[in-house]
A and B are shown apart, each in its own frame.
Chain A
């Protein structure tokens, strides 16, 4: 046993797969400890908040102030409003209204702004420019004005009865607050999704459900496949014929179609994650049954099995002691593949709107489905779908890697 383990870990593929999988498991176990709470809680009003650190403006205002004199501050401020693409657009505007720009360097902020201030006119309607484009330039102009025109900003409170503003103090451009002093800071490493839920938190919870689904479905499929394969291969004869008949039929009728029909018939309300897992498991056993059967057939006439038969051991005992140990490695590999297959199946079902009912738990497939329905991919909200995709791929990849590694150890013909 120890020897086999060391051989298994000797294959780079298994070790790599194992490490990736463990990494995912660790994330699944420990992240909820760091960041407890309901993964489906809506934290942001409005959809798809960008990943990052959110600081409460309300609290920041009251935090202790430091004065920092930073030379690059004004430039940075301008930069945050005037991105490269804005500069390009500005030049396009100049061209559209036929203003000669001469040798204007697009990086020369001062010259560009001077030209803009001199010529920009929101009432001009250049030919071929859509309303959306005109709105864009108007917004750009406003935000530039906000930064450029140094109107004094103050903090004030409003008197409840008189509605009078009472100045507390002026805000200087050298005022800074330390993040540590702000009472409310929220980190959303992967932003929020279409409902305004914390994507990372939801993702971690989804990994858990999807793995559970994979495990349940994989176990069911493997158990059914193993039982049928054992019976069919060992007993042979008419039993074998019948089982193989059924197996062959379900090999060609796509499991995917059965999954759709069954899931649809069960109905949205009945479809919890466990139900979905069971359905997936019940449609996925075919491969395992076939593989186990052929293994058992090659085993059933070996000497030790014959010996057991002659000694009058009963069927169950022979299977458990003389057959199972020899196909154990094979069954483990089948189970691994079934798990990864089931996770993919859940994802695909959910993409079709036939996944687990949506209100209670997140699954990887559901997250994917929601982000697609809300066209996250078309609008550049990568954080809502890309981490999900990556997770699905990594789970499946790590399981497949482990499987390949095991195959190398237990299947000598594949050795180098």
Chain B
């Protein structure tokens, strides 16, 4: 077992909307990632994937608020640090982030190199401008990005190039954990491949020590990450190794999610969730009991009353359903 890079214990965060309502978008998430490993997080739109990504950074600003839980990066608990400390010493250096809409993640009116200088001024104030330039140039070269990008504005780059630039900037300080929120979703197939290859390179060359990859496209995860977690309504419902998760999902929600994706060819991805009728619960007032009960084909009245914690059932696997693995397998087998 490798060294644990990131450990999250029972993390809870919420949005406070402008009507002063609370949205519990991350509600008790625990996870661990070891050095050299990558973890995929899947789930339908609105289940809280992006919110989880933001919450993991340990740096909160309105409308997102921290409630409870621990975030431990390489043995250091960052949830007890003060925000300015986190900003200076954790962000970018220890944990880095690639936002969902990386297309717009770069300030359109600032040259890329100026932005990198801004980042370095915070984390390595001793570096001079030529040093920063040299370092950025080298890193870009290794990652296969043209040097001239450094002197361009974000608006002058193509979508795929923007995305790769963002990845290069995010990882320029060689963080221990990289959180990539749908880094390839908005791209064409070629750019997608380049982005995936780049992330793999970063892992192999040791520029990042572990990675969380968020997406709603499961086939992608299967190829990219070691483990997969499935998220539903702010909670994790199942976790396991990628292959097992795809071919042997246990939780009824994972089952539905996988079933709807694996069967048809990629062209109909958009309609992936037709297989699970109904809508997710309102995160302002999450239901008691199992959150998936209202949509679950196999639910009993008890499911709506009693909730269940994650529990292990095999090598590195755990799930959140009240029913035993055997029971579920039997039910699935009988259609």
Task: Please list the residues of chain A having a beta carbon within 8 angstroms of any beta carbon in chain B.
Answer: 10, 415-416
Contacts and interface: CB of A to CB of B under 8 A. Distances in A.
Interface in B71-92: none
3 contacts: A10-B19, A415-B18, A416-B18
Interface of B: 18-19
Contacts of B19: 10
A10 B18 CA distance: 11
A10 B17 CA distance: 14
Contacts of B18: 415-416
A383 B18 CA distance: 43
Nearest to B19: A10
B104 to A, nearest CB: 12
Nearest to A10: B19
B interface: dominant SS = loop
A359 B19 CA distance: 53
A33 to B, nearest CB: 41
Contacts of A415: 18
Nearest to B18: A416
A127 to B, nearest CB: 70
A416 B18 CA distance: 6
A415 B17 CA distance: 10
Contacts of A10: 19
A301 to B, nearest CB: 14
A416 B19 CA distance: 9
A10 B19 CA distance: 9
A241 B19 CA distance: 44
A415 B20 CA distance: 13
A307 B18 CA distance: 36
B284 to A, nearest CB: 15
A155 B18 CA distance: 74
Q: Would you list the 3 A-B pairs with minimal beta carbon distance, nearest first?
A: A416-B18, A415-B18, A10-B19
B217 to A, nearest CB: 19
Contacts of A416: 18
A138 B18 CA distance: 69
A10 B20 CA distance: 13
Nearest to B62: A416
A415 B19 CA distance: 10
B63 to A, nearest CB: 9
A415 B63 CA distance: 11
B186 to A, nearest CB: 16
A415 B18 CA distance: 8
Nearest to A11: B18
A323 to B, nearest CB: 22
A415 B21 CA distance: 14
A3 to B, nearest CB: 12
A280 B217 CA distance: 54
B271 to A, nearest CB: 11
A416 B20 CA distance: 11
A408 to B, nearest CB: 9
A111 B18 CA distance: 68
B126 to A, nearest CB: 39
A409 to B, nearest CB: 11
Nearest to B63: A416
A267 B19 CA distance: 55
Nearest to B17: A415
Nearest to B270: A303
B216 to A, nearest CB: 18
A178 B257 CA distance: 88
A411 B55 CA distance: 26
A67 to B, nearest CB: 66
B23 to A, nearest CB: 14
Nearest to A303: B270
A36 B19 CA distance: 47
A13 to B, nearest CB: 13
A4 B148 CA distance: 50
Nearest to A415: B18
A400 B19 CA distance: 23
A404 to B, nearest CB: 15
